[in-house]
Amino acid sequence: MSSLAEPDWEALARHPQFRELVSNRRRFVAKVTAFYFAYFVVYLALLGYAKDFMANEVVGISLALWGGFSICALTMIMAVAYARRAPEWERMAQQVVVEASR
């Protein structure tokens, strides 16, 4: 297949390996997004309804600030988790392209 040729997108979309790739990636993103959303909502709820608790200090820093730091850390952790899974998805995508070009 020439690099300038337009692939048959409909055929690729019907390919079982492509469907597996999309399903695998969608499941990962949905789970991670749901976890992040729940974590963030709990953090906001604690900020709003447990002000005295969040005002407690650990190592001289309030729990509210530690929670904010944890959100930033969680974002980085999720980015690393996605980056670690990306090569697997790339391999799956390459397999679909090879199969489709036959």
**9-43: pLDDT as tens digits:** 787 888 888 899 999 999 999 999 999 999 999 99
Residues with Cβ within 8 Å of 39's Cβ and at least 6 positions away in sequence, in order, are: 71, 74
86-102 pLDDT, tens digit each: 999 999 988 888 887 77
Residue 14 domain-assigned (yes or no): no
Say what the pTM is: 0.79
Amino acid present at 60: G
Quote the tokens at residue 81: 């988790």
Residue 15 domain-assigned (yes or no): no
Residue 69 domain-assigned (yes or no): yes
Residue 11 domain-assigned (yes or no): no
Residue 90 domain-assigned (yes or no): yes
Quote the tokens at residue 9: 């997108």
* Domain coverage including residue 78: 31-101
Q: How many distinct structural domains can be found in the chain?
A: 1
